[in-house]
Every structure is written in C-alpha cells, then in structure tokens.
C-alpha cells in the first residue's frame, strides 16, 4: 500500500512538472490564438497525447452528447463502438480511449477539449483528471476574451 502511494506521488510529481512545462510554453506565446495553440501543442508534445482536439462549435459537440454525460467536469474512458467512426474521422486514425474537458464560456456557451489515443487503456474510466481540470481552467481563462 505504501508502494502504491509512492507510485501515485511520483506520477503526481511528473504531472506537475509536465503542467509547468506547458505553462511556460503558453506564457512564451503572444496573443490569445497563439496561447491556445500552445496549450494543444504542449498536450501533444509534453504530455505525449497523440490526438488533441479543441472545438468551440456546437455542431461537433452534438456528436459527443452520448459520450459526455456531465458537462461540468472532465472525464475519461474507452470509446464505444458507436463513437468510433466519428472519432476516427476527426483524428485520422483509430481512437481507443478519450478524455474530455468541458470549458464553460460566458453564460451558456462552452468549448470542449478532446484528448485521444489509439491505446484503449491510455485514458481509463474514472481516472484522476485533476490535471485536465487545471488545463480546462487555463483554456477558460484564455478563451474568455
């Protein structure tokens, strides 16, 4: 049990280091579009997430409504068969598991960040999504104006 705690602590430290590296990339960028692009590029390159997709349009979000049940908190999980086609189309390759991060904008609007991997176990159901919430809050700040 102690070993599990230490492992969790190490994973947590690594996440925080990665988040810090992401923050530095965003701070180095000038202007909102470049900063938002750095969040996505940092998730790809620092966190090693193969597919990173940010949508501010309602059209694409509709396609996710069967996947995302709670629009206020991030979540993770393997991809259902019915969602495979649309996800693969967007990603350009098969997606085995995804994480999603809702980003509230204004009174009723929202953006949605999707992270995906071919690996079905990369974003397991019910994993800790604390860092995703922090990334979501960064995006919310950047997209607010």
* Residues contributing to the site for a copy of itself (CB under 8 A): 2, 9, 16, 19-20, 23-24, 26-28, 35, 134, 137-138, 141-142, 144
For the bound state, the minimum distance from the C-beta of residue 35 to a copy of itself, rounded and expressed in Å, comes to 7
- Comparing C-alpha atoms, which of 65, 128, 49 is closest to residue 102? 65
Residue closer to a copy of itself, measured from CB, 29 or 63: 29
Shortest spacing between CB 134 and a copy of itself, in angstroms: 5
What is the largest distance, in Å, between two alpha-carbon atoms of the chain? 47
* Concatenated DSSP letters of 63-79: HTTTT---SSS-EEEEP
Return phi, psi of residue 101, to 5°.
-135, 105
If the CB atoms of residues 9 and 48 are measured against a copy of itself, the closer one turns out to be: 9
**CB of residue 50 vs a copy of itself: minimum separation in angstroms?**
25
As measured in angstroms, the least distance from the Cβ of 27 to a copy of itself is 5
CA 117, CA 95: separation in Å to the nearest integer?
Answer: 5
Smaller CB distance to a copy of itself: residue 29 or 90?
29
Q: Are 124 and 95 in contact (CB under 8 A)?
A: no
- For residues 91 and 139, which CB has a smaller minimum distance to a copy of itself in the complex? 139
């Amino acid at each position: 049990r102690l070993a599990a705690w230490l492992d969790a602590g190490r994973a947590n430290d690594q996440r925080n280091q990665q988040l810090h590296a992401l923050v530095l990339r965003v701070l180095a960028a000038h202007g909102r579009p470049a900063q938002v692009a750095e969040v996505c590029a940092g998730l790809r390159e620092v966190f090693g997430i193969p597919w990173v997709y940010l949508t501010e349009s309602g059209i694409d979000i509709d396609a996710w409504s069967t996947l995302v049940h709670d629009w206020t908190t991030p979540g993770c999980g393997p991809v259902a068969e019915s969602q495979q086609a649309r996800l693969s189309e967007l990603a350009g390759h098969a997606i085995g598991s995804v994480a999603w991060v809702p980003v509230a904008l204004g009174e009723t609007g929202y953006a949605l960040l999707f992270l995906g991997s071919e690996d079905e176990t990369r974003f397991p159901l019910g994993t800790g999504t604390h860092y995703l919430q922090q990334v979501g809050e960064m995006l919310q700040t950047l997209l607010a104006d």
